[in-house]
Structure 1
Amino acid sequence: MRKILIVGAGQSGLQLALGLQDRGYEVTLMSNRTADEIRTGKVMSTQCMFATALGHERDLGLNFWESQAPRIEGLGVSVAGPDGSRPVDWVGRLDGYAQSVDQRVKMAGWMETFAERGGQLVIHGAAVSDLDYFARRYDLVLVSAGKGELVSMFGRDAARSPYREPQRALAVAYVHGLGPRPEHPDFHAVRCNLVPGVGEMFVMPTLTTTGPADILFWEGVPGGPLDVFQDIKNPADHLQVTLELMERFLPWEYDRARQVELTDAGGTLAGRYAPTVRNPVGELPSGGLVLGVADVVVANDPITGQGSNNAAKCAASYLDSILAHGDKPFDRDWMQATFDRYWGYAQHVTKWTNAMLAPPPEHVLNLIGAAGQLQPVANRFANGFDDPSDFEHWFFDPELAAAYLASVS
């Protein structure tokens, strides 16, 4: 029986651990927190997972909260005018529904499931020196903890990482009490509100530790009027500033949010990071090799909502590569090839996400505007969040964009 160590108990690490465990591998999972500490801690993300990523969980029988989480059937875009109007406002319908489950709920539940099924769970904040020792005892070591010292083992891939600094300041609040959306009261949708030159706000339904809720998520251009959350420590103050900015820039969203309350004391999050692609193989001081997983090696800004989706798809791709490798050694060539297989998909996410961080060119503005008049365009935008590779065919190139609009006009 092959022995595998996975460091990091997030979406990718746990999904991969449970998948390998189900196939008879001897898996050790290392986490710096217990399940209870995760469940009662602060929110970690804004995870909205689309149909393909949810399918990977379903394939492994890990869709424990599918009947409880709100079904997200659309994705809408509004553009704010300087006078508080919405010159652009549309909703695309998803071919398959999306869902958001608070990672405190999911990761704690999956971690307990892994232990109940006989997995070896080690609660320890691993350093490089720890991995140097442990690596000799395992056939393969995977690192899925995307922050801290371990990431330093994976060098930045400059050719694939155009940004050296964070491109957005992030601020999240989980709330109860958000009013209904009059534009589509019969179904749930993620709403993306664009404030030109200032940033974006995303509003999405979720399932959290206290039941169904909504996420209010600001992405602010650094140094701009939304970049004010860094020093706010009190959750109530965080929510108050969130609402004040909504009233100033997005009055239609503020009207729904006048009565909201935080879901719990841990329901806020703020931070920033530079989107980065890293080399996938890390070398330990003793010469041992480890393979980076998901946002350890491909960390995109959350402006396109791809973090959890990438993590699920990376875990599924790596699982297939491990199973197909049989009893052969997990050497450097295999590690590179395993990442390259995943990068064949992830490159499209990275290209699209980095493009969305920059001011949109004229042809993209035309596409966004056309989606308000042509439902097929709105629907194609929405479903691109599930399969970003589709944007290659109509989004990036002005001639392809014009040809596409002509074909649906």
Structure 2
Amino acid sequence: MRKILVVGAGQAGLQLALGLQSRGYEVTVMSQRTPDEIRHGRVTSTQVMFDRALQHERDAGLHCWEDKAPVIEGLGVSVAAADPATGTAPDFPARAVDWLGSLRGFAQSVDQRVKMAGWMELFAARGGQLVIHGAAVSDLDFFAGRYDLVLVAAGKGELVSMFARDGARSPYDRPQRALSVAYVHGLLPRTDAPDVEAVRCNLVPGVGELFVIPCLTVSGRCDILFWEGLPGGPLDVFQGVNDPGEHLSLVLELMERHVPWEYARAVRVELTDGQSTLAGRYAPTVRHPVGWLPGGGAALGVADVVVANDPVTGQGSNSASKCAACYLEAIVERGDLPFDEAWMRRTFDRYWAQARHVTRWTNTMLAPPPAHVRTLLGAGMRHQPVADRIANGFDDPADFEDFFYEPEAAERYLASVAGGAAPE
């Protein structure tokens, strides 16, 4: 029986560990925290998973909360009207763009405190070895000779330093957004579509973005209020704010100023619990997949260890799920052959064939949108197929290659829609 060590107990690490376990591998998972510490700790993410990523969980029998989490059937985009003189949205702006696209397959968001604690307990109940220990490089050096494969799925801390930055695939060397998260109860439905659960993407030119995500948390159904602000701009005010109540007050103040249409339904919200706020920032980075240990052993980086995109396109958990499924398939196909460096690089390349689309799209959305992208977003109000196609790009980012990046391709696509031709 082949022995595999998975370091990290997030979406990718646990999905991969449970998948390997179900196929007869002897799997050890190392986590810094116990399931109870995760369940009762601070929120860690703003996850929303779309159909293709959710299908990987269904295939593995890990869709444990599908009948409890909100069923998200739409994705809406609103763009605040910019001041022609400054190019930025004024205080109390109107909406220049507002539409709701329909998802072909539903999306869902489950607080990772709920999911990861549950998956860890499931892994242990099935006989997996769960080690509660904050792993350092020296630990992995010790374990490397005792396992057939070491997988590093812990995207923060010392272990990430094992994996060198890939400068050719990493155009940014510093954070592009200041992030702020609050999980709340009491958000009212949108009056324009009160019966549709939807992710709402609010773009404020020159300022940042607010995302509103229906979610299942430790205390039941909730909504995530997630600000992404340009560093140094009006949204970059959360550093050093440690009081959750103060954090929420700032979130709401910024909503009232920059997205009043969302603030109107948030006037009575309250935090879901005392650990439901989060703030931070990081530089989007692609890293080389093989990490070398002092003793000469190698480890394979997983998910955001090697491809860490900004969450502006909501792809973190989706990419993690897809990476876990890709790696699982490659490991099983390898049989009894060694997991050598060449295999590790090929396995990452197999994942990168999907991940490159996410990285390109995310990096594009971090920059000021060019004229043709603004035109595409505006066309979503006039043509429902355009709104639907952009919305479903969150599920399949590869589709953006055909119409989103180049002005000529966007023009051809919009002409086909306006002319009544069926869009690709």
TM-score over 0.5 (shorter chain): yes
Confirm whether residue 118 of structure 1 aligns to residue 121 of structure 2.
Answer: no
Equivalent pairs counted in the alignment come to: 409
Q: Which secondary structure does the structure 2 equivalent of 1:87 belong to?
A: strand
* CA deviation string 1:30-49 (max 9, x = no partner): 00000000000000001000
Task: Tell me which amino acid in the other structure corresponds to 1:264.
Answer: D
Q: TM-score, normalised by structure 1?
A: 1.00
How far did 1:175 drift? Answer: 0.1
State which of 392, 407, 422 in structure 2 corresponds to 1:398. 407
How far did 1:230 drift? Answer: 0.9
Confirm whether residue 383 of structure 1 aligns to residue 395 of structure 2.
Answer: no
Confirm whether residue 252 of structure 1 aligns to residue 261 of structure 2.
Answer: yes
Confirm whether residue 128 of structure 1 aligns to residue 137 of structure 2.
Answer: yes
What is the rounded CA distance, in whole Å, between the counterparts of 1:177 and 1:93 in structure 2?
24
Q: TM-score, normalised by structure 2?
A: 0.96
How far did 1:187 drift? Answer: 1.2
> Which residue number in structure 1 is paired with residue 239 of structure 2?
230
What is the rounded CA distance, in whole Å, between the counterparts of 2:236 and 2:385 in structure 1?
35
Task: Tell me which amino acid in the other structure corresponds to 1:186.
Answer: D
What residue ranges of structure 1 are gaps of 5+ in the alignment? none
What is the rounded CA distance, in whole Å, between the counterparts of 1:273 and 1:43 in structure 2?
17
What is the rounded CA distance, in whole Å, between the counterparts of 2:190 and 2:278 in structure 1?
24
What is the rounded CA distance, in whole Å, between the counterparts of 2:316 and 2:386 in structure 1?
24
How far did 1:186 drift? Answer: 1.4
Q: Which secondary structure does the structure 1 equivalent of 2:21 belong to?
A: helix
What is the rounded CA distance, in whole Å, between the counterparts of 1:335 and 1:183 in structure 2?
49
> Which residue number in structure 2 is paired with residue 334 of structure 1?
343
* CA deviation string 1:225-271 (max 9, x = no partner): 00000110000000000000000111111110000000000000000
The within-5 A match list for 1:344-359 is: 344-359=353-368
* CA deviation string 1:253-294 (max 9, x = no partner): 111000000000000000000000000000000000000000
Q: Which secondary structure does the structure 2 equivalent of 1:93 belong to?
A: strand
> Which residue number in structure 1 is paired with residue 212 of structure 2?
203
Confirm whether residue 298 of structure 1 aligns to residue 307 of structure 2.
Answer: yes
Task: Tell me which amino acid in the other structure corresponds to 1:33.
Answer: R
State which of 266, 269, 281 in structure 1 corresponds to 2:290. 281
> Which residue number in structure 1 is paired with residue 279 of structure 2?
270
How far did 1:6 drift? Answer: 0.3
What is the rounded CA distance, in whole Å, between the counterparts of 2:29 and 2:262 in structure 1?
42
What residue ranges of structure 2 are gaps of 5+ in the alignment? 82-89, 419-424
> Which residue number in structure 1 is paired with residue 321 of structure 2?
312
Task: Tell me which amino acid in the other structure corresponds to 1:66.
Answer: E
What is the rounded CA distance, in whole Å, between the counterparts of 2:32 and 2:380 in structure 1?
45
Confirm whether residue 369 of structure 1 aligns to residue 378 of structure 2.
Answer: yes
State which of 145, 149, 152 in structure 2 corresponds to 1:143. 152
What is the rounded CA distance, in whole Å, between the counterparts of 2:58 and 2:282 in structure 1?
31
* CA deviation string 1:291-333 (max 9, x = no partner): 0000000000000000000000000000000000000000000
What is the rounded CA distance, in whole Å, between the counterparts of 2:190 and 2:93 in structure 1?
17
> Which residue number in structure 2 is paired with residue 67 of structure 1?
67
Confirm whether residue 323 of structure 1 aligns to residue 332 of structure 2.
Answer: yes
What is the rounded CA distance, in whole Å, between the counterparts of 1:247 and 1:80 in structure 2?
13
What is the rounded CA distance, in whole Å, between the counterparts of 1:87 and 1:357 in structure 2?
20
> Which residue number in structure 2 is paired with residue 51 of structure 1?
51
What is the rounded CA distance, in whole Å, between the counterparts of 2:187 and 2:402 in structure 1?
37
Task: Tell me which amino acid in the other structure corresponds to 2:394.
Answer: F
> Which residue number in structure 1 is paired with residue 190 of structure 2?
181
What is the rounded CA distance, in whole Å, between the counterparts of 1:180 and 1:355 in structure 2?
30
Q: Which secondary structure does the structure 2 equivalent of 1:256 belong to?
A: coil
> Which residue number in structure 1 is paired with residue 86 of structure 2?
none
* CA deviation string 1:371-405 (max 9, x = no partner): 11100000000000000000000000110000000
Confirm whether residue 33 of structure 1 aligns to residue 42 of structure 2.
Answer: no
> Which residue number in structure 2 is paired with residue 87 of structure 1?
96
Task: Tell me which amino acid in the other structure corresponds to 1:346.
Answer: A
> Which residue number in structure 1 is paired with residue 421 of structure 2?
none
* CA deviation string 1:156-214 (max 9, x = no partner): 00000000000000000000000111111111000000100000000010000000000
> Which residue number in structure 2 is paired with residue 343 of structure 1?
352
What is the rounded CA distance, in whole Å, between the counterparts of 1:228 and 1:242 in structure 2?
10
State which of 270, 286, 304 in structure 2 corresponds to 1:261. 270
What is the rounded CA distance, in whole Å, between the counterparts of 2:398 and 2:258 in structure 1?
32
CA RMSD between the two structures: 0.5
How far did 1:87 drift? Answer: 1.4
What is the rounded CA distance, in whole Å, between the counterparts of 1:87 and 1:394 in structure 2?
22
State which of 226, 229, 237 in structure 2 corresponds to 1:217. 226
Identical-pair percentage: 73
How far did 1:132 drift? Answer: 0.1
What is the rounded CA distance, in whole Å, between the counterparts of 1:127 and 1:54 in structure 2?
32
What is the rounded CA distance, in whole Å, between the counterparts of 2:243 and 2:392 in structure 1?
37
How far did 1:90 drift? Answer: 0.3
